[in-house]
Amino acid sequence: MTKFIGHGMLEIYSKELHIAGEEKLSNVVRFLNIPENLQEHIVFIKGGKTLNDDDLIKDEDEVHFYIVPFGG
């Protein structure tokens, strides 16, 4: 199972998902049910590396995600 661990206000979106093979992060994120208005402000991190939408996620990965507010 892949662990998605949300931090702060995103903790309620934490889940464990089964991923067969490898999937792009952008394809997997939709299963976390995070509202679209928040998605553009979230950073996903795996193994100390910030992930891009095209990065691959596989079973047994642990991905942490945080909200990063922008603006002034």
**Proportion of the chain above pLDDT 90, given as a percent:** 86
Q: Edge-to-edge strand order for the sheet containing 2-6?
A: 15-17, 2-6, 62-67, 42-46, 49-50
Mean pLDDT of 28-40: 90
Please give the DSSP secondary-structure letter assigned to residue 40.
Answer: T
Whether residue 49 contacts residue 63, with contact meaning beta carbons closer than 8 Å, is answered with: no
How far is Cα 21 from Cα 68, in angstroms, rounded to an integer?
30
Query: What does the pLDDT average to over 56-67?
Result: 96
pLDDT band at 69 (very low <50, low <70, confident <90, very high): confident
Average pLDDT value for residue range 30-47: 92
CA 10 to chain centre: 10
Alpha helices in the chain (DSSP H): 25-29, 36-39
Taken in order of first residue, the domains within the chain and their CATH numbers are 2-67 (3.10.20.30)
